[in-house]
Structures are given as structure tokens and as C-alpha cells.
Structure 1
Amino acid sequence: MPASLTVGARNTRAGTEDRAQTAGTVRRALARTLRQDLGQVDFGLRRFRLRNGPAREVLEHSGQAFLEGFNAALARPVGDRLADAIDDVGREFRGFAYEGAGMACGLLDLLGWTGGRNVRALLAGPATLYPHLVHVGVGWAYARLRLRPDWGKPLLRDPMLKWLAWDGFGFHQGFFHSDRVVGGQGVELGLTANQRSIRDQGLGRSLWFHECADPEGIALRIGEFQTRRRCDLWSGIGLAATYAGGAQQSELESLRTLSGEYQADLAQGCSFACEARRTSGIVPGHTEIAAAVLAGASAELAGSWARMALTTPGSIAVTVEHYQQWRAGIRQQWSSHRERSQQ
């Protein structure tokens, strides 16, 4: 090889090594700055409802798993080391860890102007079985930086699941700004009706934590919101009750009764959760119980409604309206199932 080419190759390798070293230094600095204390999910600290029973422990553990995944994704590049770290999280809570990893990768991409490289690597690698949770986690990243999920160059490319970032955005707002968003029912300025709707589904999920899975507390809290927003909040409740758990069967039965005219929305959220659990390959017992009570079906059947509604002609998602049509299709699947069951 000519000497000039040899020198060029060496310079190229040196440049690559220098960029990798710089990227590692930046990542370590961000990890130190952004690392989260697991204690911040304590319900007493957050001034959430405190009640007897297993709900608080289950839900706080879910929050801790989220932060464990967040810290792990900040501390190491996406790959086998991250997968090994998240595998240390209990199987039932692993989805929350990947949600946290999604937030961390979203922050790294937004702060580093990488065009979504970290998020794409996470989805293509360790989080292959958790796409729903990662998309939700990216919504947290936007919210933490006081940005909207439609800001700048998109980090997410899935034509349907990308709208889940608005769900994650809403959960973040309810969890961390509860006085304004829950107590005051505040909504960010400038949202379209559909953006607000998906954001409110995420807010509904946060109410499950805020009210510590207490059915009466949830119903009373949702009753404080404008009527037009309640359907989306109940959808989020159905999703969180089914995915996160924390409620006994009798409490789920009370929840279904209290949802009243919003049972279809409750079932739609339940279907979302069942499909996310099925995709991960981990369907815990509480998900099966919630599906039976809230949707009147097995977790497999309830999750299939999300798949069937997605493949209905004309439901290929490009716009937020398509996403809303998907949700409506799931509600119709549930309604048809209930009618057949009552015959």
C-alpha cells in the first residue's frame, strides 16, 4: 500500500477513535447530570394517595424499574450491556425499565442532535419486544425538556406507534406537575383536539398512580374534569390497570362499574395493554384478571382487537386522525364482542 494511503487509513482510524472517545466522554457527563434518584417515586414524597394493600408497593416498584432503565441507558451504549442490566429487573417490571430507557435515549438524541440514533438502536436491539413502551418513554423526554413531541426532526418513525409519544408526554405532566395538571386540570396551550386526546390518555395512566389504584378515588378525580376529556382519561386508566396492576379483582369490578358510560374506553385501554404485554412475551396474572374484568375477554383476545383494528382497510396510520381511528376501531371490536357474549 502506498505510504500516503497508509497514513490516510491511520488518520481515519484515529479520527474515528477520537470521535468515539469524545462521544463516550459526553455520555458520561450527561449520565452524571441526568441520573435519577430512585427515591423520587415514593408516593408520600409525591403527595399521591396512600392506602393499605399491595397497590402502593406494586406501583412504586414500577416507577423504580423505570428509573433503573433510565439510569442504565444513560450509563452505557445501547447493546448487550444495556440488555444485561435491564434483564436484572424483574420480568413483570421489565417493560417499565425499557420505557425509562426510551426516555434516556430520547434525551440523548434531543440534547445531542443525533436525529434519533439512540432511540432507533434501542428499538432495533434490546427493546425489540417493547416498542410500545419505548415510544411512550420518548414522550417523557420531550416533556422533560419542555418540548412537544412534534418539535423538530422526528425521533420516531413507526407510522402508528409514534403517536404514543403524546401519551408519554401526558403521563409525565400528570406525574410531575400534578398540582397544575391533575388538581387544576390544566392543559398546555396550542394542542390540537387529537393531540390533547392522546395526551389525556397518558394523563389517565398517571391517575392510576396518583390515586394509588383506588377505584372510588379515580372516579371522583376524573369527575372533576370536563366531560369531553373523561373518555380519554378512562382509556388511560384501563391501560394502567391492565399493564401495571396493583388492584384486586373486586377493585377492578368496582372500577368497571364506576366507569359507567366509558366502559368502551376502559376496554380500549385494556386492549392496548394486553397487546403490549403479548408483544413482550410476558403476560402476568394481573393482566389476565384485568382483561377478564375490564374487557370481558382473555388477554390474548383483548390484545387481538388492537391488531384487528389496525389491519382494517383504511387504518394505515399516517396522521393523528388514523391513530384515533385505531382507538375507535378497538372500541368497536369490544362492543361487538360484548354483544356476541350477551346473545
Structure 2
Amino acid sequence: MASIMGALRRRVLTPDMAETRLSTRGFYEKNPAARDLLETVGMSFLTGYGFAAEAAGPTDAESGLEQVPYEFRGFAYEGAAMACAVRDGLPFGHAHRVERFLTGQAARHVYMVYVGVGWAMARVPRFRWSSMYTADPLLRWLVLDGYGFHQAYFRTAKYVHEQYQEPNFPWPGKGWSWYADRVIDQGIGRATWFVAGTDAARVADIFEEFPESRRADLYAGAGLAATYAGGAGEQELAEFLQRADKHRRWVAQGSAFAASARVEAGLVTPHTELATRVLCDGMTPEEASIVCAESLPDPCVDGAVPAYEVWRTRIAERFAQAGD
């Protein structure tokens, strides 16, 4: 009975794979290789989502997730985290699935898990947001990155081309809406890498249409996507860094975040190595990951400026110094 219920739950909850096609989304197709890459990312995400939607318990999805090719496995864990969070957010969904998911192999993908929770936040009613797993005082901000990515990916005209920002964003609470908007912009920047089909020049063109005050966060998100997802060659990445101009340090910060996520998960790929070499001042992914670790605030407590922003700024400053 449990397997029948699981299969039914997977069928009901999991979005159609067609939603990952660039043609469905109306995204730019740079070339067939970039299209195949981005569509495989999307399919891997939904594959992971399906495993977790069907699983009786969160860690029961691990056997399937671990079979996803290592280049795309992090996206599958992200999708699985979204499914766990959606199930937590449903009526009577108080099983703490995301928390339990993180007791297993997902702990190596903790950044992707928090981003996946943000995807779920965009899909469940706001009165259920209190059920979302946001226990880590530092990484909880990543849910807004995931929320921003989701909105830009599925509501591209409004969030990317019309540059929409939601006034007085309600999470995580009063007094933080100014920073919530910034992290959402990081997710929008990350999604723009997909919207533009990994065409770095097109990404920069889109960013230049945004107000100057938003571009640093957008570039940080794109730097993360360029490193974690890939899709651009060395010359294209170098030109993108040049286009970023005074926001180069934020491209490097996003790239370092992506490198850290892949290093911690044991999923470093050749494109990760290429991207960090170009975007992080010649560093290897492991060296960029060390910069992230050494820049962690201690303690990780939000003050006038959130600890997450303190962390990001320290990383960006390290790369600004390296480029001087």
C-alpha cells in the first residue's frame, strides 16, 4: 500500500518534465550543447523531486539520488529538498522531512537543500511558511535565493524583464525586507544564467537593464550559476568578468560559493575548475572553498547586517584584494 500511495503522490506532486525544456520556458538557446546541459539540469532536479515525493521517509530517496550522474547530482538533491519541504508545507505536513533528510547523504549538499526549501516556499501558501525548515541561522537566507530563482525561472517576464521586486517581503520577518530583496536578487541572477541559455554576454545585457543598485547581487548569482551549472567556455567567462566591471568581486564571491558546494559534496567537475580559475583569480575549487571557510563569521548571529551578508562581503573583499 505504501508503494502505491508513494507512486500516486509522486504523480500528483511532481511537475511535468516538459517544464524543463528551454522552448517551453521561452529561454534563449545559445547552442545545442548549452540547451542539453540546462535541460538535463532541470530533468535532474525533477528526478530528485520525484524520488522524495514518492519516498516513505526522506532518506529513502537516497538510493535513487546517488545514481544520478555526479555532475547533476546536486540538482537532484535540490529537487528532493523541495519535495520534502512541499510535503512539510501541505496541510497536516508536520513530519519534519527536510530536517530528517539532512541526517543522511543530503548533509553533503546542505547549500542545495536550503535552496530547494526556497523553491517550496514559492509553491506553498504563505500561511504555511512557518513550517519551512530554516534552522541554520546562516544558511537560512539561501531559501530566498531559491525563491528568487523559482520566480525568475517560472515568471520570467515579471521578475527578469520587468525587474519586479515584491514590496515589504514578509519573510523572515519585520525589519528584514531590505535584505530579503537582495538575496532574492541573487536567485534572480542565478536564474538569468538559465534564461539567457548560458550566454554570458546576454546575461550581462539583461543585468545592465536593471538599476545599478541591484547589479552586484545579480552578478553574484550569475557567478554561482556559471560555476555550478557551467555552460560557458574560458573566453566567454573572461569577457563576462570584464563586463561585470566594479562588480567583479561579487562574481568571484558567487563562484566561490558554487565551488564550496561542489567541493563539500565531492562533485567537482572540469567546468567547476575552469570557472574558478577564470572567475576566482586563478584559484582551484578547493582554494576557493577555503576562502569561504576562512571568511565565516563567528558567531553566525544576525546583527544590524545579517551574518550571511557579512560572510559574502568578506569573501568578496578577499577577491577584491587579490585583484588589486
Q: TM-score, normalised by structure 1?
A: 0.87
Residue in 1 aligned with 2:18?
39
Residue in 1 aligned with 2:90?
111
Q: Which structure would you say has the larger Rg?
A: 1
Residue in 1 aligned with 2:286?
300
CA contact (8 A) 2:121 2:132 kept: no
CA contact (8 A) 1:116 1:156 kept: no
Q: Distance in 1 between matches of 2:318 and 2:127?
A: 31
Q: Distance in 2 between matches of 1:87 and 1:206?
A: 25
The answer to whether the aligner puts 1:140 opposite 2:126 as a matched pair is no
The answer to whether the aligner puts 1:55 opposite 2:34 as a matched pair is yes
The answer to whether the aligner puts 1:156 opposite 2:148 as a matched pair is no
Percent identity (aligned): 36
Q: CA 1:119/1:270 → structure 2, altered by over 3 Å: closer, same or farther?
A: same
Residue in 2 aligned with 1:89?
68
Q: CA 1:116/1:225 → structure 2, altered by over 3 Å: closer, same or farther?
A: farther
Q: Distance in 2 between matches of 1:201 and 1:116?
A: 30
Between stretches 120-129 and 67-76, larger displacement belongs to 120-129
Q: CA 1:338/1:77 → structure 2, altered by over 3 Å: closer, same or farther?
A: farther
- Which structure 2 residue ranges, 5 or more long, are not aligned? 170-176
Q: State the Cα distance separating 1:79 from its structure 2 match.
A: 5.3
The answer to whether the aligner puts 1:280 opposite 2:295 as a matched pair is no
TM-align CA RMSD: 2.0
Q: State the Cα distance separating 1:31 from its structure 2 match.
A: 2.6
Residue in 2 aligned with 1:10?
none
Residue in 1 aligned with 2:301?
317
Between stretches 169-178 and 23-32, larger displacement belongs to 23-32
Residue in 2 aligned with 1:180?
158
Q: CA 1:254/1:194 → structure 2, altered by over 3 Å: closer, same or farther?
A: same
2:184 paired residue among 199, 202, 207: 199
- Which structure 1 residue ranges, 5 or more long, are not aligned? 1-20
Residue in 2 aligned with 1:332?
317
CA contact (8 A) 1:43 1:50 kept: yes
Q: State the Cα distance separating 1:97 from its structure 2 match.
A: 0.1
1:66-105 aligned within 5 A: 66-78=45-57, 81-105=60-84
Between stretches 50-59 and 265-274, larger displacement belongs to 50-59
Q: State the Cα distance separating 1:337 from its structure 2 match.
A: 2.8
Q: CA 1:321/1:145 → structure 2, altered by over 3 Å: closer, same or farther?
A: same
Q: Distance in 2 between matches of 1:243 and 1:221?
A: 20
Q: Distance in 1 between matches of 2:92 and 2:302?
A: 24
Q: Residue 105 of structure 2 aligns to a residue in which SS?
A: coil
Q: Residue 129 of structure 1 aligns to a residue in which SS?
A: helix
Q: Residue 106 of structure 2 aligns to a residue in which SS?
A: coil
Aligned residue identity for 1:175: Y
Q: State the Cα distance separating 1:111 from its structure 2 match.
A: 0.5
Q: CA 1:172/1:100 → structure 2, altered by over 3 Å: closer, same or farther?
A: same
CA contact (8 A) 2:90 2:124 kept: no
The answer to whether the aligner puts 1:169 opposite 2:155 as a matched pair is no
Q: CA 1:302/1:184 → structure 2, altered by over 3 Å: closer, same or farther?
A: same
Q: Distance in 1 between matches of 2:314 and 2:92?
A: 37
Q: Distance in 2 between matches of 1:152 and 1:143?
A: 13
Q: State the Cα distance separating 1:195 from its structure 2 match.
A: 0.2
Aligned residue identity for 1:316: C
Q: State the Cα distance separating 1:187 from its structure 2 match.
A: 1.4
Q: State the Cα distance separating 1:26 from its structure 2 match.
A: 6.8
Give per-residue Cα distances to partners, 1:111-140, cap 9 Å, x unaligned.
Answer: 044446100111111312100001000000
Q: TM-score, normalised by structure 2?
A: 0.91
Give per-residue Cα distances to partners, 1:109-168, cap 9 Å, x unaligned.
Answer: 01044446100111111312100001000000010125399x324522112111100000
